[in-house]
């Protein structure tokens, strides 16, 4: 029996790749074969490179789809974060969060600080890291979340909607305290927090101190109950710097707008009974 010619074998390889739907590998094949013929690659290296091409494509496609599902459509990375601009921020603490053990431990990460200090950026970047590692993530703002829960409640679908928000390993809730909540909003948010409590990780961002939660949620009792759960197993990252958005125009913004200290007492009920890392009592959070 005669051995098939190399070009016949290559045709068969190409046919296999077509049948297996491996377009990247097909595209890379000729170049890799050329490098093999020139002695730049061993047969094993050729096979490895061929599979790697396809695998990278698939991985990129998976991440792209997962980012859409997670609603992480604004791409922010930790590499793109300028830590030197935010000296109050402990770089190593953020990099250690990027190891994602907080998701395994179902902890709550709070990013607190004035507008423009990178809270959303860091939340999105950690979301991206989680998606890359195959974790399920969902990103929303508090306003969107409450609107969606209120709609579901009106339609008799609240339980299903809460289940929807509890099924991801990481839920990111951005912009707590930016907009006044609609009536009943605090109660709906509490139901969600309660449903996720110790079942899944959260990242929350806010420009308001915990002491202002009664004001944000319009009710001291609900605010205490929320903080009780959200500060148990919590990691609080407070950023005390200037706005990155305004970095070139800071001198045009009146000082009292740039740095308006707000009350930030420590959350008594939660801090007393629970372990975790409540914020420093004298922390100044700035309004925006
Ligand atoms: P916040 O959520 O705290 O209001 P953002 O995270 O939205 O602020 O940041 C505002 C803009 O500035 C975004 O485009 C963000 O990517 C960018 N940004 C903020 N801080 C930094 C930083 N330290 N390095 C690079 N970009 C930053
Ligand atoms: Mg933000």
Residue 28 in domain: yes
The whole-number average pLDDT for the span 264-271 is: 42
DSSP characters over 228-269:
HHHSTTEEEEE--S--STTTTTGGGS-HHHH--EE-----HH
Q: Judge if 145 and 19 occupy the same domain.
A: no
Q: Judge if 41 and 177 occupy the same domain.
A: no
Residue 1 in domain: no
Q: Is the dihedral of CA 165, 238, 143, 72 positive or negative?
A: negative
Q: Judge if 151 and 15 occupy the same domain.
A: no
Q: What is the pLDDT of residue 242?
A: 86
Q: Judge if 15 and 80 occupy the same domain.
A: no
Residue of 83, 115, 118, 178 to test ligand 1 pocket, by largest number of atoms within 8 Å of CB: 118
Ligand 1 atom nearest to 86, measured from its CA: 23
Write out the residues surrounding ion ligand 2, Cβ under 5 A.
120
Bridge-based pairing state of the strands 137-141 and 170-176? parallel
Residue 287 in domain: no
Residue 187 C-alpha to ligand 2 middle, in angstroms?
23
DSSP characters over 89-157:
S-HHHHHHHTT-HHHHTT-EEEEE-STTSSHHHHHHHHHHHHHHTT--EEEEEHHHHHHHHHHHHHTT-
Per-residue confidence at 26, pLDDT binned at 50, 70, 90? very high
Q: Judge if 47 and 142 occupy the same domain.
A: no
Residue 96 C-alpha to ligand 1 middle, in angstroms?
20
Q: Is the CB of 286 under 6 A from ligand 1?
A: no
Q: Judge if 186 and 235 occupy the same domain.
A: yes
Q: Which ligand is nearest to the CA of 175?
A: 2
- The model's pLDDT over 127-151, given as tens digits with 9 standing for 90+, comes to 999 999 999 999 999 999 999 999 9
Residue 132 in domain: yes
Which residue's CA is minimally distant from atom 20 of ligand 1?
Answer: 118
Residue 261 in domain: yes
Specify the higher pLDDT residue, 72 or 287: 72
How many domains does one find in the chain?
A: 2
Q: In the predicted model, is pLDDT for residue 275 greater than 60?
A: no
- The model's pLDDT over 46-102, given as tens digits with 9 standing for 90+, comes to 999 999 999 999 999 999 999 999 999 999 999 999 999 999 999 999 999 999 999
Q: Judge if 26 and 108 occupy the same domain.
A: no
Residue 288 in domain: no
Residue 273 C-alpha to ligand 2 middle, in angstroms?
31
Q: Is the CB of 135 under 6 A from ligand 1?
A: no
Residue 254 in domain: yes
Could you tell me the CATH number of the domain that includes residue 268?
3.40.50.300
Q: What is the pLDDT of residue 250?
A: 64
Task: Provide the domain limits for residue 174.
Answer: 71-282
């Amino acid at each position: 029996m005669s051995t098939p010619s190399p070009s016949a074998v290559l045709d068969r390889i190409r046919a296999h790749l077509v049948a297996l739907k491996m377009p990247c590998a097909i595209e890379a094949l000729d170049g890799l074969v050329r490098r093999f013929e020139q002695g730049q690659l061993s047969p094993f290296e050729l096979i490895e490179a061929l599979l790697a091409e396809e695998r990278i494509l698939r991985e990129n496609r998976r991440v792209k789809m997962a980012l859409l599902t997670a609603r992480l459509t604004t791409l922010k990375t930790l590499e793109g974060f300028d830590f030197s601009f935010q000296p109050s921020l402990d770089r190593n603490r953020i990099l250690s969060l990027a190891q994602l053990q907080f998701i395994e431990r179902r902890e709550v990460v709070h990013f607190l600080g004035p507008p423009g200090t990178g809270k959303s950026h860091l939340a999105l970047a950690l979301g991206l890291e989680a998606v890359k590692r195959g974790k399920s993530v969902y990103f929303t703002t508090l306003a969107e979340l409450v609107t969606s829960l209120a709609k579901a409640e009106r339609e008799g679908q609240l339980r299903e909607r809460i289940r929807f928000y509890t099924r991801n390993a990481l839920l990111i809730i951005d912009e707590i305290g930016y907009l006044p909540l609609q009536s009943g909003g605090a109660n709906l948010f509490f139901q969600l927090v309660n449903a996720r409590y110790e079942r899944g990780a959260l990242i929350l961002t806010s420009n308001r101190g915990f002491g202002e939660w009664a004001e944000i949620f319009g009710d001291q009792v609900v605010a205490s109950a929320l903080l009780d759960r959200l500060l148990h197993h919590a990691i609080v990252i407070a950023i005390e710097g200037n706005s990155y958005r305004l970095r070139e125009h800071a001198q045009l913004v009146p000082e009292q707008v740039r740095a308006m200290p707000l009350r930030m007492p420590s959350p008594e009920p939660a801090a007393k009974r629970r372990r975790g890392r409540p914020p420093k009592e004298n922390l100044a959070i700035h309004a925006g």
